[in-house]
Amino acid sequence: MKRVRTVPVERPSHARWAPYLSFAALIAAGALFALYRTRHPRNVPGEVALQLAGRWEKAYPLLCDPQLWCPPYKERLRAQYEALRLDTLLFVPAYTLVLLALFGLGSCFLHRQVSRRLAVRGLGATLVMAAADLGENVFEYRALDGLASGQDGDLAKAAMFALLKWSLALPLAGAAGWIGLTLFARLFPLRARVTNAPPCGKPARVQEAHRLADGSERWADPDVIAAPVAPHATTAVRDWAGSTRTGAPRDSALARWRTRAYQPPGREPASVGICVSGGGIRSAAVTLGALQALREGGVLGRARYLVSVSGGGYTAGAFQLALMPKDTQAAGSRSTPLATARDVFAPGSPEEDHIRRHAKYLADSPREKLLAAGVILRGLGVSLGMLGLAFVVAGVLLGAFYDMVPFIDLTALRPARHAHFPDFAPHPRVLYPVLALVGVSAVVSAASSLIVARRGRSRPAWVRTITRGPLTLAALVVVFAVVLPAVFWFFAYLSSLAHRADVPTGGPGISLLGALTAAATGIGAVYTAVSDKVKTLMPSGESTSRSVSPSSIVTRIGGGPITTAVVWLVLLLVAFFGLSLLSWSAVSAPGWPVGWRLGLPIALLLTAILIDQTTFSLHPFYRQRLAGAFAVRRAVLRDGSIGALPYDYNAESTRLSTHGKRVEGFPQVIFAASAAMSLRNRTAPGRPAVPFTFSHDWVGGPDTGWVRTSTMEETAHPLVRRDLTVQSAVAVSGAAFASAMGTQGSAVQRLLALSNLRLGTWVPNPSYLAEVARHEPDWTMPRLPWVRRLRYQLQELAGRYTDTSPMVLCTDGGHFDNLGLVELLRLRCETVYVIDSSGDPPPLARTLAEAVTLAYEDLGVRITFDQAEVLRLVPGSAAKLDPQEAMAGLNTRFSADCVVRGVVEYPEPVLFPGRRKPSRFATIVFAKAGLTPDMPYELLSYALKEKAFPRDSTFDQWFDHAQFDAYRALGHHLGAEAAKFPVTRRRFGPSGTPPVGPPRSG
């Protein structure tokens, strides 16, 4: 068996000797610091304030006794000279060596290339800061020499250099500290190896998907299949280019479609495949009836794959778990399940009755509703508490910084001085260094442009870096010297106004504002998640008044402008609270006890590392509620009766590799989800999501790569492994309310992430696992996290998701394709059955149109329908029922048909099972949830009473028995009509295409 050998991590050529030089620099810096501390004079008051004074009227009080009309004391002046000399000879070289050592180590041993590039820029910024410090010392020394003249020129120049120095000091110190802690932590290996499943437990085998797809390499049983690389702008083009293989690649124009259609070992083309759409409990009920009818028609037993999305996955997962024997993981103790593929969830079965009774799966009783409210409040408290603590710690650090570097006098902003509130004015010398830096950037840019124009070449990267560097430094000066002081002053001014109006200020005022913000965030998030409105449409799809005509069609949609306004108001309130908390802590923190000022950063560090953010989101609650409603087995109860026995949620882990295995007579279930990606190298504009699937054999997708399910389970830490179960796959595939919602994204995502009212979860990224498996063991590789830390919630708040992160956020499959059709076509099926209960607004099947477009874009698969036949799905296309006046409310909602057949054309021939020759053509049978005149009488009666049926909003997840039975009956009708299309072989016409039209069997 061939195995790809591990390859070493590429490092710069100077990485061999850089550690020795860095350690020598650190030792030398330690000696210089020690010498500086022993020789530094003690009687040098206001040393930093003197650097920033800029004028003698501010500098004199620092050098002279204010009670005496005299020149500065000779002792103080002599001490100031000595401090400048020691600062130039000892302190500046010492901190420069420390920063250069840490950034040098980072440029060699940080794993990501973008991180190494930032470390290199840190080296340059360190030299700039040291040069600014030396320039400030020179001009300050000259100012002290010319003390008798009283001129401000040299002091002003010293202040400008000091502004540059201190604006760089805090960012560089933070970056260097992060590099040092990161490299130190990676010296302790924690689960660094990717291993396959026991009993082997060997390092994982890796192979590239594109080489397996084009046939250039063939070997069996990989554990990880890496996705093709995707060039992006953060890496130079030359670093992406590779050598051309010997000979021309086979059909390179189709290489992308071929690679995206590649399926891991074990997933072969099939005769029959079924996909069931998303739509919450509505889709679950429709899918239940449809699968029952497809089994009666002989289709389900012949199907090889069942791809489910969201609500369709509720039922698909329920079928799968009902067929699993008890105690699958315990060797030698398996029990034979009573339910079989022929009768599982049959009409009248205990498991079907169990789901009907638990259709209000989220919360039914008052106790369950209180529990749901408690979970929401807990998640909200953890989320806002962590973010509030982060703002406080940031304020503490900024308060300490401004207490040492007086860009602004924070003592004047404290509550005790609000009676004589000072006017805000930025440092008087801010404008000069900013203009100088912008001018330097402009000169470099103009000069390089002239050179480029003469030589006809593009500007080199180092010129672009030099151009951006001064602008970045100018922005830092403005932030630290103008923006942050202005924010502090503004909120202190608001506090003074509130104090005059007898409104609580200080700690009580911040607490009151925090309580109001938390309440508004919780209420706004819940309102956004559950709000929907009834919309009345004409058969053409145009909006109209409900009272216009009985022929109008009612549908329920999500919230409109009011919901958007609520979301933005809540987000603005949270931003206001965060900035006020930052300002209050920065102003008041210097007066806090030392224990608080040190304890809060330590508390933030520990909680950010140890608390799993997913645990406190809605995902575990959602997963458990779905398991309680849909995870059951048919069993003999203690009184001898036959009933539905729920899974023991805490005792039996429904691991994908064991409980997701295919059962004889039932198709393999593949749960279609989506993975959040925000970079254009992987996604198209407007679609920040890529396909991601869960099944018993493989986890992943074409953009992330695949990992054998057992390998991912063995590699992941136990806390993360809880999200690699059948129950979790069902929940993830239906995670409609998430902080990353693909094409449905908006500001709502930020609110859901902020409130922890989110259903997605973070799982190991197959691309990252492939990288670890290639390079292991290597101490510089980032470790696979054992908790989803604060970092991942911050990523959700920022909406930034990379393809190289150790974890990937998985959400509802409908955020990519709500039908699951694209994923089923990726599996290459000859006959495709689609059960669509997505609840599209009339008149056309919009979800189908989007899936058809996406299938061609993603796979090169063309889907065509006969125009006359597909338009029979349009509401109002059926013949009117008599009496027309009495039936007017239904006649405009009736479609002439609910099932149509089309042609699927794959870009390359496929050898389907039982075929002698490959073929490019297949058949699609599309069943749309709609009303037709031939439906059962009781279903028509329910539709007449409920105007929104069958388009009830996905926000409605609290179905009563009548709703559930109506949608199940609708699904049974759809499945029965779809099963009339024969699965047997059909002769193709002269053009090689199968016939398109309505002929059915039966």
Beta carbons within 8 Å of 186's beta carbon, 6+ residues apart: 779, 780, 781, 782, 783
Q: Where are the beta strands (DSSP E) in 297-383?
A: 305-309
**More confident of the two residues 260 and 146:** 260
Beta carbons within 8 Å of 882's beta carbon, 6+ residues apart: none
What distance in Å separates the CA atoms of residue 984 and residue 316, rounded to the nearest whole number?
A: 25
Element (H, E) at 217: none
Beta carbons within 8 Å of 876's beta carbon, 6+ residues apart: 539, 551, 843, 891, 892, 893, 894, 895
Q: Where are the domains of the chain?
A: 13-185
pLDDT above 70 (res 69): no
pLDDT, tens only, 240-262: 666 655 445 566 777 888 888 88
pLDDT, tens only, 353-391: 999 888 888 877 788 888 888 888 888 888 888 899 999
What distance in Å separates the CA atoms of residue 867 and residue 939, rounded to the nearest whole number?
A: 28
Cα of first residue to Cα of last residue in the chain, in angstroms, is 51
pLDDT, tens only, 894-935: 888 999 999 999 999 999 998 889 999 999 999 998 888 888
What distance in Å separates the CA atoms of residue 948 and residue 956, rounded to the nearest whole number?
A: 12
User: What is the maximal distance between C-alpha atoms in the chain?
Assistant: 113
Q: Is 861 helix (H, G, I), strand (E, B) or coil?
A: coil
- Interhelix angle 366-404/594-610, rounded to 10 degrees, is 130
- Interhelix angle 726-733/619-630, rounded to 10 degrees, is 110
What distance in Å separates the CA atoms of residue 1002 and residue 692, rounded to the nearest whole number?
A: 38
The DSSP 8-state label assigned to residue 235 in this structure reads S
* Omega within 30 of 0 (cis) for the link into 843: yes
The token pair at 231 is 């060039």
| pTM, to two decimals | 0.87
Cβ atoms of 131 and 41 within 8 Å: the answer is no
Which phi and psi angles does 17 have, rounded to 5°?
-105, -10
What distance in Å separates the CA atoms of residue 260 and residue 826, rounded to the nearest whole number?
A: 8
Amino acid at the residue 273: G
> What does the pLDDT average to over 850-869?
91
pLDDT above 50 (res 343): yes
Cβ atoms of 154 and 59 within 8 Å: the answer is no
pLDDT at 547: 47
**More confident of the two residues 792 and 958:** 792
pLDDT, tens only, 687-708: 788 999 999 999 999 999 999 9
pLDDT at 102: 94
What distance in Å separates the CA atoms of residue 894 and residue 872, rounded to the nearest whole number?
A: 10
Amino acid at the residue 218: R
Mean per-residue pLDDT of the chain:
82
pLDDT at 973: 93
The token pair at 478 is 């403005």
> What does the pLDDT average to over 52-73?
65
pLDDT at 327: 64
Cβ atoms of 827 and 269 within 8 Å: the answer is yes
Helices and strands, number each (H, E), in the chain: 33, 18
**More confident of the two residues 611 and 448:** 611
What distance in Å separates the CA atoms of residue 49 and residue 39, rounded to the nearest whole number?
A: 21
Amino acid at the residue 860: G
pLDDT above 90 (res 998): no
pLDDT above 90 (res 640): no
pLDDT above 90 (res 1001): no
Cβ atoms of 814 and 736 within 8 Å: the answer is yes
Could you give the C-alpha distances from 535 to 529, 840, 842, 891, 960, in angstroms and in order?
18, 13, 11, 19, 22
pLDDT band at 672 (very low <50, low <70, confident <90, very high): very high
- DSSP β-ladder status, 206-208 and 224-226: parallel
pLDDT, tens only, 321-342: 999 887 644 444 456 778 889 9
pLDDT above 50 (res 746): yes
Q: CA geometry: angle at 536 spanning 534 and 541, to 5°?
A: 125
Closest CA to 606 of 322, 386, 418: 386
What is the Cβ-side half-sphere exposure of residue 636, based on CA atoms within 13 angstroms? 5
Q: Is 780 helix (H, G, I), strand (E, B) or coil?
A: coil
pLDDT at 233: 63
pLDDT at 830: 93
pLDDT band at 296 (very low <50, low <70, confident <90, very high): very high
pLDDT above 50 (res 14): yes
Start-end of H helices in 734-765:
748-755
Q: Is 710 helix (H, G, I), strand (E, B) or coil?
A: helix
Cβ atoms of 906 and 933 within 8 Å: the answer is no
What distance in Å separates the CA atoms of residue 919 and residue 989, rounded to the nearest whole number?
A: 13
- Quickly list DSSP for 382-446: HHHHHHHHHHHHHHHHHHHHHHHS-SS-GGGGSGGGGGGPPPP---TTSHHHHHHHHHHHHHHHH
What distance in Å separates the CA atoms of residue 586 and residue 600, rounded to the nearest whole number?
A: 13
- Secondary structure string (H, E, C) spanning 78-137: HHHHHHHHHHHHHHHHHHHHHHHHHHHHHHHHCCCHHHHHHHHHHHHHHHHHHHHHHHHH
> What does the pLDDT average to over 551-576?
73
pLDDT above 60 (res 67): no
Beta carbons within 8 Å of 748's beta carbon, 6+ residues apart: 528, 563, 567, 741
Amino acid at the residue 295: R
Beta carbons within 8 Å of 695's beta carbon, 6+ residues apart: 656, 660, 668, 669, 670, 671, 709
pLDDT above 90 (res 826): yes
- DSSP β-ladder status, 553-558 and 532-537: antiparallel
What distance in Å separates the CA atoms of residue 11 and residue 153, rounded to the nearest whole number?
A: 48
